[in-house]
Structure 1
Amino acid sequence: MSTPEQHRQGARQGPASGRRVLVIGAGRGQTGLIRAVRRLGATAVVATRVEPHLPGIAEADEVLAADILAVDDVVDAARQAGVDAVATSCLDTGLEALGAVADTLGLRGLSRQAARLCSDKLAMKKRLAQAGVPTAAYVAVSSCEQVGPALERTGLPAVVKATDLQGSSGVFMVDTPQEAAQAWSTAASLSRSGRVIIERLLTGREFGAQAFVHDDQVLHVTVHGDDLAPGEVPVPVGHHVPMEADPGLLEQADRVVRQAVSALGLRNCAVNVDLMECDGVVHLIELTGRAGANGLPELMSTVYGLDYYEMVAREALDLDVLETWRGRSPWDGAALAIMLIDADARGTVTGIHRPDRLPGWVTDLQVFTNVGDVLEGFTSSNDCLGQVVVRGSTLAECRERAAYIDAQVVLATDNAGTGARTGETVSTPGTRS
């Protein structure tokens, strides 16, 4: 097998040969995109802070050392690098930089204005409310003295959110005014802008959706069920398709997502959406103009029989997107992406065992952890040890298959008594693909 360096030295072939794509970020969520860019024959130029542990650095053709939050610096670096396209996946942090590069250099992709709406929960909520998209009642709170009056409008329990952080960072569920005041102080200190909102806590069924927008055309809205790890703020650790639900609920979710995409002006990008069904009404929690994280691109690849990262790359390059989408081969059963986690895994990793051969129904298996990494249990998605994506005839079969593969990924640590993921004997699930 050739090395990344040998690939870089070889002649590039493919429909994007000679073109240069700026990929924002070099984390595990961008590695699939970097590989897709290179498979298309383009040069993958990665903008990232230069930290050796980021896996995308080893995959890139070129690395631009940059703080992806420093928008003007990224734009200048992109201009000097002479890039022809810009893209990202699974990451909100660099969205405004992506939009600024696209706007400034006249490239295809999410606009800076739309990226700002995605990255600012307050601006997003305002725009969604103006467009009539169902969303939780909220109040912007700029001081601790405003917490009490805000709670009178939202009621308790409530959710306190920093407006400009990714995922569950800076998000706190509160039951009392005292908890809300403390949460506001913490969220304000974590927020880059210092802005915080308090919103009504919706109770019901939390789920999500992936979508893809080419020009003004929404190519698909795919609703998926979410598997959540318990905690004060539940952490997504898995996703599955299809989600069992009344057809009316799925139709409502499709309509709400399309309304929200239009309201935020999302174009030429993948879209990740968080939803909540509350008393029969689908509410939009938030959405952003990039593919979802935690196995969602691999899940979409499995569901549609194509490389979803390549769809993102083709969109940035304006390269036969509709033709590629029409050539998909959808899977007619169920598919499941599950993150490998272990709340008891602590210590330095001394060894990793993973299966040498995989059944055909495993569409993706990754181990994020390396020998020498220090494990400290599980508190967020950053602590995931890997992921597995499987397909099957039913969701129950997918769960059985995923558990079978999960049990074969074993990590040894130097912490006696708390070795991570000790293996167990399991029977092989059915061999239907």
Structure 2
Amino acid sequence: MKKIMILGAGIYQVPLIRTARRMGLYTIVVSIPGDYPGFALADKIYELNTRDKEAILAAAEKEQIDGICTSGTDVAVSTIGYVCEKMHLSGIPYEAAEILTDKAKMKDAFRQGGVSAADGMRVRSAEEAQKAAEQLGYPVVVKRVDSSGSRGITVVEHSGQIEEAYENARNGSARDYVLVEKFLRGTEIGVDGFAQNHKLVFLAPHTKFVYRGAHTTVPVGHAFPYGCSGALREEIARQMQLAVTASGADQCSVNADVFVDGEKVWIIEMGGRTGATCIPELISTYYGFDFYEQMIKSALGEETDFQQTESCPCMAKLLLSPVSGTITQIDRDQVERLRQEGLELVLDYPEGHEVSAMADGTDRIGHVIVKTDREAELDEQMKRVYRCIWIDGKNLETIWEEKTAK
């Protein structure tokens, strides 16, 4: 029996773990200690920090694994590259993993590789950030370089906001620098794909749904397909290939944040793993193949197949709470009725579990997937689900209505 090691045991790794088990693989799950749902699904667990390259390499060598992978997180990508290099496994090269988990290194690589991207500067103090912002011109985006999603990112409109934005980016970072980047205007979309033999063999642009806060945006969902002209799709593919080549990404999924304006394309950043927020599920639904399965096959060095067999429009959004609290009630009967109607609905937690006010996608309490090309239809289904959940004795639909009314 082949052995696969999956780094991470959280909500975004659970579908990957389930898929590995379904494929008949001996599944080893590695994560820091905690109440993570993936642990209960594993054949064997290791309670290790997924950033600890040497400890995970030692465990991988001890187990003589046949492959290693993750989904939906940048945290473990560098370790995966390290283990793949040391054990000669199929997966992202270590150098590429280091580039794609540091936004400043990525910016340098994109610049050298001719990738269309926003201008940016690496800074090590609030004073340097101020000078960089003045040079680039406001508004700018101040970014933590080693976090994914919207963590540590602030849009800065004027000089009075720089110091707080710099501190927000530096706090929680293992680096002694942050990135100040020119703010781009356009439509933000997502692009996922797969690189093999240094070529992009699969490309999946998609609409991105975001919740816009005061100084940042939080990705809350996606829709497939992304409707655009043939010329724009070709330019997206060209820029993504340039980004793959510039970073050295290979034998791995890629997930990029992209801005488009007319037929102009900018690659904001790219990760060497699949996206979160239901992206693999939506790819599987729209294109007709199991994306998680193809990721695992690639990690094992097996033949993959990204041939599209279906074309089913679909979209998803995360279930989130605008307030912190405790789930005090879930109408299980109504949830089951919604599922019987065909709604793909996942609730992450039972009654009694604490939830956090949404700051990024990891604060999710579930998700809803609908086979439709109408966002209004998805939103109506979201409301029906929110009516089934109570936070601190208050219905979540009501909580959201009060939040949006302010």
Q: Judge same fold: TM > 0.5, yes or no.
A: yes
Question: Is 1:271 equivalent to 2:254 in the alignment?
Answer: yes
One of 156, 161, 164 as aligned partner of 1:182: 164
In structure 1, the residue matched to 2:404 is: none
- Which segment drifts farther, 381-390 or 102-111? 381-390
Whole-angstrom distance in 1 between the partners of 2:87 and 2:385: 48
- Taking the TM superposition and a 5 Å limit, the aligned residue runs for 1:325-364 are 325-326=306-307, 328-331=308-311, 333-343=312-322, 346-353=325-332, 354-356=335-337, 358=339, 362=343, 364=344
* Match for residue 419 of structure 1 among 386, 389, 395: 395
Task: Tell me, in whole angstroms, the C-alpha distance in 1 between the residues paired with 2:378 and 2:8.
Answer: 32
The CA distance in 2 between the partners of 1:67 and 1:268, in whole Å, is: 24
Q: Does 1:25 align with 2:4?
A: no
Separation in structure 2 between the aligned mates of residue 404 and residue 208 of structure 1, nearest angstrom: 23
How many pairs does the alignment contain? 396
Q: Distance in 1 between matches of 2:168 and 2:327?
A: 31
Give the aligned residue type for 1:113: E
Could you list the per-position Cα deviations for residues 96-153 of structure 1 after superposition, in whole angstroms to 9, with x for gaps in the alignment? Answer: 1111111111111011111111100010000001111011111111123322321232
Contact 2:321 2:356 in 1 (8 A): no
Instruction: Please identify, of 69-78 and 283-292, the stretch whose mean Cα deviation from structure 2 is larger.
Output: 69-78
Structure 1 residue 378, shift from structure 2 partner: 2.6
CA displacement, residues 320-352 of structure 1 (integer Å, 9 cap, x when unaligned): 31xx334x4222x42111112242574343334
SS of match in other structure, 2:242 = helix
Structure 1: stretches of 5+ with no match in the other structure = 1-17, 424-433
Pairing of 1:112-127 with structure 2 (within 5 A) = 112-127=94-109
**1:129 and 2:108 aligned:** no
Please tell me whether the aligned partners of residues 45 and 61 of structure 1 are also in contact (alpha carbons under 8 angstroms): yes
Query: Equivalent residues in 2 for 1:79-98 (5 A)?
Result: 79-98=61-80
Matching residue of 1:426:
none
Superposition pairs for residues 7-86 of structure 1, below 5 Å?
18-52=1-35, 54-86=36-68
Distance in 1 (alpha carbons) for counterparts of 2:156 and 2:391: 38
1:404 maps to 2:387: no
User: Which residue of structure 2 aligns with residue 297 of structure 1?
Assistant: 280
For 2:383 and 2:97, the matched residues in 1 are separated by 36
Q: Report the TM-score, using the length of structure 1 for normalisation.
A: 0.86
Deviations 1:274-318 (A, max 9, x none): 001246421011001111000000000001112111111111112
SS class of match (1:63): strand
**CA deviation after TM superposition for structure 1 residue 172, in Å:** 1.0
Are the equivalent residues in 1 in contact too, given 2:96–2:248 (CA < 8 A)? yes
Structure 1 pair 130/98, CA: closer, same or farther in 2 (3 Å)?
same
Are the aligned partners of 1:349 and 1:375 in contact in 2 as well (CA < 8 Å)?
no
Partner of 1:142: 124
Which residue identity does 1:407 align to in structure 2? R
Aligned partners of 1:73, 1:415: CA distance in 2, in Å? 41
- What corresponds to 1:3 in structure 2? none
**How far does residue 412 in structure 1 lie from its aligned partner after superposition?**
4.4
Give 1:126's aligned amino acid.
Answer: D
Distance in 2 of aligned mates of 1:408 and 1:153: 47
**Equivalent in 174, 193, 205 of residue 211 of structure 1:** 193
The SS at the match of 2:33 is coil
| Contact 1:345/1:421, CA 8 A, preserved across alignment | no
In structure 1, the residue matched to 2:402 is none
Q: Which amino acid aligns with 1:152?
A: E
Whole-angstrom CA distance in 2 between matches of 1:352 and 1:269: 40
TM-superposed deviation, 1:55: 1.1
Is the partner of 1:28 in helix, strand or coil?
Answer: coil
Structure 2 Cα separation of the partners of residues 405 and 144 of structure 1:
41
Q: Do the aligned partners of 1:342 and 1:421 also contact (CA within 8 Å) in 2?
A: no
Counterpart secondary structure, 2:165: helix
Question: Using the alignment, how far apart are the partners of 1:339 and 1:294 within structure 2?
Answer: 7
Task: Give CA-to-partner distance per residue, 1:357-390, whole Å, 9 cap, x none.
Answer: 636864x421112221123433322222211222
Provide the secondary structure at the position in 1 that maps to 2:38.
Answer: helix
Q: Is the 2:31–2:48 contact (alpha carbons within 8 Å) kept by the matching residues of 1?
A: yes
* Percentage of matched positions with identical amino acids: 28
Matched, 1:386 2:369: no
How far 1:181 sits from its partner (Å)? 2.4
Q: 1:306 to 1:406 in 2, by over 3 A?
A: farther
**Does structure 2 retain, via aligned residues, the 8 Å contact 1:348–1:373?**
yes
Shift of 1:82: 1.8
For residues 86 and 376 of structure 1, do their structure 2 counterparts lie closer, same or farther at Cα, with a shift above 3 Å needed?
A: closer
Deviations 1:236-286, CA, capped at 9 Å, x for gaps: 111011223333222211111111111111111111110012464210110
Q: Relative to structure 2, which stretch is displaced further, 263-272 or 341-350?
A: 341-350
Q: Does 1:309 align with 2:285?
A: no
Q: Would you identify which runs of 4 or more consecutive aligned residues in structure 1 move more than 3 Å?
A: 344-348, 356-362, 408-414
Change in CA separation of 1:218 and 1:201 when aligned onto 2, cut-off 3 Å = same
* 1:234 paired residue among 203, 207, 217: 217
